[in-house]
């Protein structure tokens, strides 16, 4: 008598699981943000060190994507997700026991590498497991859970830091529990890659097939304009909010990032079925307007303009990101899914880290408000370029003129 086969999740549940993994990865990336002020007070490091801690996470993501971007195409989605989620469980413990700034660098680096593995494999698995193999639906799911995860991570962490005991431990206990559930789910998920081989962990250039390069370029421009302001908000945004509102309340400070990312998630749900070119174009215009409002808020000290900029810019960030991602998802060949999505996230995490490092390097000279003015203006200009390029890709109706 043969032993009973292993229980596996249905394709729909597996799809929901890998979507949740993407959301949890972004949730975890934003969890430390409300704690940076407390870490700085406790261990006395500079704004430059703060942005380097943040960037260590992004560079960890990049390292994983460059070394193992195609590994789930070869080894399978499930094994890679198990390794990534297991490492994220370890990083949650590292944050809990952190006793110096060195621990933050170690924990963020490990968290970044595990996130890079998880994002590449989970994004590819979304395309594998979607019930109708619908690239538009996959893009919408990816965009909503990414922005929503970032927003909820900041909100929950801010509330726990402000109102719960052990603020430097409890947020990571919550993370550990969520990742443990996801790990069990990954143990039970089916493996969508049929032909698997031994993985190769060798340095590789981001791989984008020729047929995908034009939509990849547009998606890259959109993610650069949107994620760069996300990195700036996650690293220095809490300080600007505290300055504008004259408060040290962590929940109020965390609401600035929640407003940006949360409005992005809501806007994606509302406008998720718009044509990809329209989402990228009009979303980028809204992002540019939001950044102009934030620049004006930093210059004038206006809290109202700041909130308006965060909401409008966040909505634009979400819709622009989604439009570009949908256009890209629709043209990726099956055998290149993980490689192309890994290349996409390489661009995304360069965008979220390099501007944050640059801002941290100049904030001491320029001051916090001037730094936001300069970087917000650059992002607004780039968003206008994206809007123009997306507009050029719109389908043009051809009217056939018949001879009378």
Q: What is the pLDDT of residues 329-353, one digit of tens each?
A: 777 877 777 678 778 878 887 887 7
- Give the pLDDT confidence score for residue 198 in this predicted structure: 67
Q: Classify residue 2: in a domain, yes or no.
A: no
Nearest Cα to Cα of residue 357 among 225, 260, 235, 257: 235
Residue 310 has pLDDT above 50, yes or no: yes
Global pTM reads: 0.80
Which residues, 6+ apart, have CB-to-CB distance to 120 below 8 Å? 64, 65, 68, 69, 71, 72, 80, 338, 341, 342, 345
Q: Classify residue 402: in a domain, yes or no.
A: no
Question: What CATH number is attached to the domain comprising 126?
Answer: 1.20.1250.20
- The residue-averaged pLDDT of 211-236 equals 79
Specify whether the CB–CB gap between 344 and 218 falls below 8 A.
Answer: no
Which residue range is the domain that position 224 belongs to?
11-190+211-392
Residue 92 has pLDDT above 60, yes or no: yes
Q: Classify residue 29: in a domain, yes or no.
A: yes
Residue 235 has pLDDT above 80, yes or no: no
**Spatial distance between the Cα atoms of 199 and 245, rounded to a whole number of angstroms:** 51
Q: Classify residue 201: in a domain, yes or no.
A: no
The percentage of the chain sitting over the pLDDT mark of 90, rounded to a whole number, equals 19
Q: Classify residue 272: in a domain, yes or no.
A: yes
| Region of residue 7 (phi > 0: left; psi between -120 and 50: alpha; otherwise: beta) | beta
Q: Classify residue 108: in a domain, yes or no.
A: yes
Q: Classify residue 180: in a domain, yes or no.
A: yes
Specify whether the CB–CB gap between 21 and 118 falls below 8 A.
Answer: yes
pLDDT digits (tens, 9 = 90+) for 29-57: 888 888 887 888 888 887 778 778 877 88
How many domains does the chain fold into?
1
And the tokens for 93? Answer: 């413990």
- Cα separation values, 118 from 65, 167, 170, 303, Å: 10, 27, 24, 37
Q: For the chain, give the mean pLDDT.
A: 82
Q: Classify residue 1: in a domain, yes or no.
A: no
**Spatial distance between the Cα atoms of 223 and 228, rounded to a whole number of angstroms:** 8
Residue 4 has pLDDT above 80, yes or no: no
């Amino acid at each position: 008598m043969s032993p009973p086969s292993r229980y596996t999740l249905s394709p729909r549940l597996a799809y929901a699981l890998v979507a949740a993994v993407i959301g949890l990865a972004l949730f975890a990336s934003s969890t430390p943000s409300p704690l940076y002020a407390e870490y700085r007070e406790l261990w006395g490091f500079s704004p430059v060190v703060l942005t380097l801690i943040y960037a260590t996470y992004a560079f960890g993501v990049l390292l994983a994507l460059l070394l193992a971007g195609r590994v789930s195409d070869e080894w399978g989605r499930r094994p890679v997700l198990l390794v990534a989620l297991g490492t994220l469980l370890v990083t949650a413990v590292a944050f809990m026991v952190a006793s110096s700034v060195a621990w933050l660098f170690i924990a963020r680096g490990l968290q970044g590498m595990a996130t890079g593995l998880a994002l590449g494999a989970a994004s590819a698995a979304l395309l594998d497991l979607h019930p109708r193999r619908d690239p538009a639906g996959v893009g919408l799911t990816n965009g909503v859970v990414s922005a929503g995860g970032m927003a909820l991570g900041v909100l929950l962490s801010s509330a726990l830091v402000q109102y719960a005991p052990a603020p430097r431990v409890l947020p990571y206990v919550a993370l550990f529990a969520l990742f443990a559930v996801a790990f069990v789910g990954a143990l039970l998920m089916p493996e969508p890659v049929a032909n698997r081989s031994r993985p190769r962990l060798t340095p590789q250039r981001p791989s984008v097939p020729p047929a995908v390069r034009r939509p990849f370029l547009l998606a890259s421009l959109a993610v650069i304009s949107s994620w760069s302001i996300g990195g700036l908000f996650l690293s220095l945004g809490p300080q600007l909010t505290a300055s504008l509102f004259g408060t040290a309340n962590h929940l109020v400070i965390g609401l600035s990032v929640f407003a940006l990312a949360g409005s992005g998630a809501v806007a994606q749900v509302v406008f998720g079925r718009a044509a990809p070119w329209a989402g990228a174009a009009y979303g980028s215009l809204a992002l540019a307007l939001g950044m102009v409002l934030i620049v004006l808020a930093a210059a004038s000290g206006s809290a109202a303009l700041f909130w308006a900029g965060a909401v409008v810019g966040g909505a634009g960030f979400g819709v622009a990101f989604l439009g570009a991602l949908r256009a890209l998802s629709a043209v990726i060949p099956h055998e290149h899914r993980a490689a192309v999505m890994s290349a996409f996230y390489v661009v995304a995490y360069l965008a979220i880290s390099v501007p944050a490092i640059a801002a941290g390097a100049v904030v001491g000279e320029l001051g916090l408000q001037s730094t936001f003015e300069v970087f917000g203006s650059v992002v607004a200009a780039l968003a206008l370029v994206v809007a123009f390029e997306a507009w050029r890709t719109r389908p043009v109706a051809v009217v056939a003129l018949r001879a009378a």
